[in-house]
Amino acid sequence: MTTTLLSWNVNGLRAVHRKGEFPAILSAASPDILCMQETKSQPDQLTKAVLEVEGYEAHFASAERKGYSGVAVYTKASPKGVSTTFGPDNRWDNEGRVLRLDYGEFELYNVYFPNGRASKERLAYKMDFYDAFLEHIESERRGGKNIVVCGDVNTAHHEIDLARPKENQKTSGFLPEERAWMDKLMGSGYVDTFRKFVPDENGHYSYWDTMTRARDRNVGWRIDYFFVNEELMDRVSNAFILSDVMGSDHCPVGLELSVDL
């Protein structure tokens, strides 16, 4: 059985629903699992049409601060367990950045990784989050779990992953220390699935700045990913970017996985 997963930073769940893109992607793509980041909403702010989607059950992790961060998962199959945190350190919990779903055959992590552009303090927070997250999934993997990580990682890994690498050498999202963590993640045995299918082509992006109309010129960044542990890679049949889907400054990325939910 092929299970289709999509991950999309919607930059506001209520906004993308009003634009019609949220119901449209469920109808057109019919993913088995749809992960969203930057939902900017709490369940009590959502309409019934968003909370109760036919054929899916919904799970949410919201930030304490309204209109900020947040992740959601719509899934056709009920997971065996759901958590909104990882590891013993709970300093991440109030920003609604993680949904962890146990499907038995694998653990799915839908994550909105922090952005480090605001200040040195936020960059330090981002790097601490990175390190704690990798430590956690490595612990789960050592315990025999297969791992699928998706979401907005807020870092382009290689020069091929953004349109203007030279101009962004000192910009958070392409800093040496951020890229080094990506090296560490993959060096630990996690696979950037898209690059397994499209290894050396540039021009494939998932985020474009709206203020400069960068999408019209495809001046973008690939900062949205699906990672799986190496042991699960033989069950990955495809990974892709849906660059024609509008409604956000990001577009969805996808994964096809040969597993039973």
Catalytic site residues?
152
Q: Where are the beta strands (DSSP E) in the chain?
A: 2-9, 33-37, 57-61, 71-75, 81-83, 98-102, 107-112, 147-152, 190-192, 207-208, 220-221, 224-229, 236-241, 253-258
Residue 107, both tokens: 């653990």
Nearest-angstrom CA–CA distance, 158 and 179: 7
Nearest-angstrom CA–CA distance, 135 and 201: 31
- Give me the sign of the Cα torsion angle 193, 198, 201, 206: negative
Say if CB 6 and CB 224 are below 8 A apart.
no
For the chain, what is the radius of gyration of the CA atoms? 17
Nearest-angstrom CA–CA distance, 251 and 7: 9
Q: How many CB atoms lie within 10 A of CB 36?
A: 28
Nearest-angstrom CA–CA distance, 252 and 225: 9
Q: How many helices (H) and strands (E) are present in the chain, helices listed first?
A: 7, 14
